[in-house]
Amino acid sequence: GIQVEQSPPDLILQEGANSTLRCNFSDSVNNLQWFHQNPWGQLINLFYIPSGTKQNGRLSATTVATERYSLLYISSSQTTDSGVYFCAVSTDKLIFGTGTRLQVFP
Protein backbone atom coordinates (compact mmCIF):
# COMPACT_ATOMS: atom_id res chain seq x y z
CA GLY A 1 0.00 0.00 0.00
CA ILE A 2 0.88 3.67 -0.18
CA GLN A 3 3.48 4.93 2.30
CA VAL A 4 3.21 8.41 3.83
CA GLU A 5 6.22 9.72 5.71
CA GLN A 6 6.46 13.02 7.56
CA SER A 7 9.49 14.92 8.75
CA PRO A 8 10.71 15.94 11.18
CA PRO A 9 9.02 13.58 13.69
CA ASP A 10 9.49 16.10 16.50
CA LEU A 11 9.98 19.86 16.47
CA ILE A 12 10.54 22.25 19.36
CA LEU A 13 10.24 25.98 18.72
CA GLN A 14 10.24 29.21 20.60
CA GLU A 15 7.23 31.45 20.09
CA GLY A 16 7.65 33.63 17.00
CA ALA A 17 9.78 31.17 15.05
CA ASN A 18 8.92 29.85 11.58
CA SER A 19 8.90 26.19 10.55
CA THR A 20 8.40 23.89 7.57
CA LEU A 21 6.86 20.43 7.86
CA ARG A 22 7.23 17.92 5.03
CA CYS A 23 5.03 15.06 3.82
CA ASN A 24 6.31 12.52 1.27
CA PHE A 25 4.05 9.92 -0.30
CA SER A 26 4.98 6.90 -2.37
CA ASP A 27 2.28 6.85 -5.07
CA SER A 28 -0.17 9.05 -6.98
CA VAL A 29 -3.08 10.30 -4.88
CA ASN A 30 -6.48 11.90 -5.47
CA ASN A 31 -6.18 14.34 -2.64
CA LEU A 32 -4.06 15.50 0.28
CA GLN A 33 -5.22 17.03 3.55
CA TRP A 34 -3.31 18.59 6.42
CA PHE A 35 -4.70 18.25 9.96
CA HIS A 36 -3.75 19.62 13.35
CA GLN A 37 -4.52 17.37 16.31
CA ASN A 38 -4.63 19.37 19.52
CA PRO A 39 -3.70 17.95 22.95
CA TRP A 40 -7.37 16.99 23.53
CA GLY A 41 -7.42 14.77 20.44
CA GLN A 42 -9.45 17.02 18.14
CA LEU A 43 -8.46 16.66 14.49
CA ILE A 44 -8.86 20.02 12.80
CA ASN A 45 -8.84 20.42 9.02
CA LEU A 46 -6.14 22.87 7.97
CA PHE A 47 -5.96 22.43 4.21
CA TYR A 48 -7.47 20.37 1.43
CA ILE A 49 -4.70 20.67 -1.15
CA PRO A 50 -4.33 18.08 -3.93
CA SER A 51 -1.97 20.47 -5.75
CA GLY A 52 -0.77 24.06 -5.73
CA THR A 53 -0.45 26.51 -2.84
CA LYS A 54 -2.98 27.76 -0.31
CA GLN A 55 -2.70 30.21 2.55
CA ASN A 56 -4.78 30.70 5.68
CA GLY A 57 -3.45 33.34 8.03
CA ARG A 58 -0.07 32.28 9.42
CA LEU A 59 -0.30 28.87 7.75
CA SER A 60 0.30 27.97 4.15
CA ALA A 61 0.67 24.71 2.27
CA THR A 62 2.13 23.63 -1.04
CA THR A 63 1.61 20.28 -2.75
CA VAL A 64 3.71 19.17 -5.73
CA ALA A 65 1.76 16.11 -6.81
CA THR A 66 4.14 15.19 -9.65
CA GLU A 67 7.02 14.94 -7.15
CA ARG A 68 4.85 13.34 -4.42
CA TYR A 69 5.38 15.76 -1.58
CA SER A 70 3.62 18.49 0.34
CA LEU A 71 4.93 21.20 2.67
CA LEU A 72 3.18 22.97 5.54
CA TYR A 73 4.61 26.35 6.58
CA ILE A 74 3.91 27.84 9.99
CA SER A 75 5.02 31.44 10.47
CA SER A 76 5.30 33.38 13.73
CA SER A 77 4.43 30.27 15.74
CA GLN A 78 2.28 30.55 18.89
CA THR A 79 1.90 28.23 21.86
CA THR A 80 -1.56 27.30 20.57
CA ASP A 81 0.12 25.78 17.49
CA SER A 82 1.41 22.94 19.69
CA GLY A 83 0.11 19.47 18.90
CA VAL A 84 0.57 16.90 16.19
CA TYR A 85 0.37 17.75 12.50
CA PHE A 86 -0.74 15.00 10.14
CA CYS A 87 -0.87 14.91 6.40
CA ALA A 88 -3.29 12.38 4.93
CA VAL A 89 -3.60 11.20 1.35
CA SER A 90 -6.51 9.54 -0.37
CA THR A 91 -6.63 6.91 -3.07
CA ASP A 92 -9.72 4.82 -2.36
CA LYS A 93 -9.37 5.67 1.34
CA LEU A 94 -7.67 8.30 3.50
CA ILE A 95 -4.28 7.20 4.84
CA PHE A 96 -2.52 9.23 7.51
CA GLY A 97 1.16 10.05 7.61
CA THR A 98 3.42 9.39 10.56
CA GLY A 99 2.90 12.86 12.05
CA THR A 100 5.08 15.73 13.31
CA ARG A 101 4.82 16.55 17.01
CA LEU A 102 5.28 20.31 17.49
CA GLN A 103 5.92 22.00 20.81
CA VAL A 104 6.00 25.79 20.94
CA PHE A 105 7.36 27.38 24.11
CA PRO A 106 6.85 31.00 25.20
A 10 A CB-CB count for 33 gives 20
Give dist(CA 61, CA 40) in Å, integer.
24
Residue number, 74 or 84, with CB nearest to other proteins: 84
Q: State in angstroms the smallest separation of the CB of 13 from other proteins.
A: 20
Regarding 83 and contact with other proteins (CB under 8 A), the answer is no
Residue number, 33 or 77, with CB nearest to other proteins: 33
Give dist(CA 63, CA 50) in Å, integer.
6
Q: Mark out the alpha helices in the chain (DSSP H runs).
A: none
Which amino acid, 103? Q
Regarding 62 and contact with other proteins (CB under 8 A), the answer is no
Residue number, 39 or 106, with CB nearest to other proteins: 39
Residue number, 67 or 92, with CB nearest to other proteins: 92
Phi-psi region of 99 (alpha: psi -120 to 50; beta: other; left: phi over 0): left
Residues that bind other proteins (CB under 8 A): 29-31, 33, 35, 40-43, 45, 48, 50, 86, 88, 90, 92-99
